[in-house]
Amino acid sequence: MLSLFIIAGTTLLASYFYTKLRYVRLTQYAHIPQLPPHRFWGHLKAFGELTQRGIPDRHPDKIFEETWISMGRPPLMLVDLRPGNAPMVLVPTHDIAEQISKPTQLFPLSTTKSPTWTHTIPIIGESSILGKEGDDWKDLRKKYNPGFTSQHLWRLLPLIIEKMGPFCDYLDRFSATEEEFSLEKLISNLTFDVIGAAVMEVDLQAQHMDRSKQSETIQQKYAEVKEEAEGTRSRSILALSFQDTGSLTPQLLSETSDQVRSFLFAGHDTNTGMLQWAFYELSRTPRALKAVRSELDEVLGPETDPQVICSTLAERGQHLLPRITYINAVIKETLRLHPPASTARITRPGSGFTVKTSTGEEYLMDGLIMYPCASIIQRDRNVFGDTADDWVPERWLGEAADNIPPSAWRPFERGPRNCIGLELENLESRVIIAIVARKYDFVKTGLGESALNANGLPILNNKGQYRVHSELYNKPG
Ligand code: HEM
């Protein structure tokens, strides 16, 4: 009798789980375009196979893009990798991405962040601005916004330029010996130092500052801000954030430390990636390198010595840098084709958050991770035409740029939760390119290196770029 009960119970339970699994995999999100789901594996198996079909360590965005194209470019694409990840909707168009990032009646601060970022808590801390919502986020953003405005950043320009010295010394050494070196490492140390200088006005010496040292620095900055007379006040972003605070409580110290870590975390790899791609694209596009150098000749004079350019920029950068429009276009185009970051959002079940496609269909998004994929959105053929996959800085110059909808370029995301560091990134990148591009020629070795003709010279393709042996690609971060 007992064994009959056990058999019946097990059968019922198995049937319950099977029905539930069928519902979750095959029915729950069946209305959203997707690869045919497997009744047990959802899309896990298909994505595993797709990954193996190309270069296995390519960035997941590439796999999403290949899948999305193979499906005929639908307005949304469901990716069900449960239980590894919550079900996700890939957003490949700028009009839907905009609905997710802009303030709405339901979400006045734009849709809430997806908890996909929580694995970074040990690095950035519990009170990081990156994970805050509502009034907590608003207060933090209000406190730090003034330090990141271009008006304030101009005051930091000499500090940023100071960090260029060691970088150029390394480049001089390598160009004298023509030895191979990792540009990533050099740029990474430089961007780390620049953020340290801008945020705390300290020399991080591109080394990892431990938490106790960081607290010491914060306390020191706090004391400076409170003691210094107006006019001689510390210029750093941190100093500005302290201006209207009372005493430096342990809680304020800990929260400030988390924000400093967040700025280093959010601004370091992103800017390093963007600059590496910019120098790579310049090195294989002679037309663009020539245009950059002509512009620098015109704006800064024919001097190529980085030290002289540094002094010129430290003295008159605020007037000169806004004139380097081609370099600005180089930065914009690099961030379009190789965006180093994206956002992910989610709204709670029952919120009633829907998006509408350009053809009028509405989709309920609650409970699904929404992933506006910048690297797909920013290659939209409807916006960027036949050259959508090509690196063409000129598209950002003159009247041509007026035809590009602002929401189709979103490397820093848009809306209230956009990147706080975008002006700092832009200033830093302009300074670095202005100082470096005038003097040094970079030649990529290994992956992405140019193919050479019988005379050992690179060969131009029909897009005005050097042909390569193998395409350079991003790996997962
Ligand atoms: C090429 C450089 C950069 C890119 C492409 C970039 C991109 C982004 C993106 C896409 C977001 C939105 C993330 C989300 O919604 O989840 C973001 C947010 C953020 N970024 Fe950046 N970023 C860059 C540089 C920086 C720098 C230099 C800093 C600071 C020093 C910084 C600090 C932040 C912070 C604090 C946020 C969170 C803002 C908030 O939630 O209010 N970023 N960034």
209: pLDDT strictly greater than 70: no
- Tell me the per-residue pLDDT of 256-296, one tens digit each, with 9 for 90 and over: 989 988 999 999 899 999 999 999 999 999 999 999 999 99
Provide the pLDDT for residue 211.
55
Average pLDDT estimate for 152-174: 91
Q: Say yes or no: CB of residue 378 within 6 Å of ligand 1.
A: no
206 falls in which pLDDT band (50, 70, 90)? very low
Provide the pLDDT for residue 286.
97
Average pLDDT estimate for 156-169: 90
Average pLDDT estimate for 465-474: 95
Residue-averaged pLDDT of the chain: 90
Average pLDDT estimate for 306-318: 92
Provide the pLDDT for residue 468.
96
- Tell me the per-residue pLDDT of 142-161, one tens digit each, with 9 for 90 and over: 999 999 999 999 988 998 89
> By mean pLDDT, which of 16-30, 77-91, 448-462 is the weakest?
16-30
Average pLDDT estimate for 427-448: 94
Average pLDDT estimate for 439-459: 95
Instruction: Take atom 18 of ligand 1 and give the residue whose Cα is closest.
Output: 419
Q: Tokens 């015109």 label which residue?
A: 298
470 falls in which pLDDT band (50, 70, 90)? very high
Structural domains in the chain plus CATH codes:
1-62 (no CATH), 86-437 (1.10.630.10), 446-477 (no CATH)
Alpha carbon of 264 to ligand 1 centroid (Å): 10
Give the number of the atom of ligand 1 that is nearest the alpha carbon of residue 344. Answer: 16
Alpha carbon of 62 to ligand 1 centroid (Å): 22
Q: Is 419 annotated as a binding residue?
A: yes
Average pLDDT estimate for 98-110: 97
Q: Say yes or no: CB of residue 44 within 6 Å of ligand 1.
A: no
More confident residue, 213 or 425: 425
More confident residue, 138 or 254: 138
Provide the pLDDT for residue 248.
83
Average pLDDT estimate for 51-61: 93
> By mean pLDDT, which of 155-169, 220-234, 239-253, 323-337 is the weakest?
220-234
Alpha carbon of 267 to ligand 1 centroid (Å): 6
> By mean pLDDT, which of 79-83, 185-189, 203-207 is the weakest?
203-207
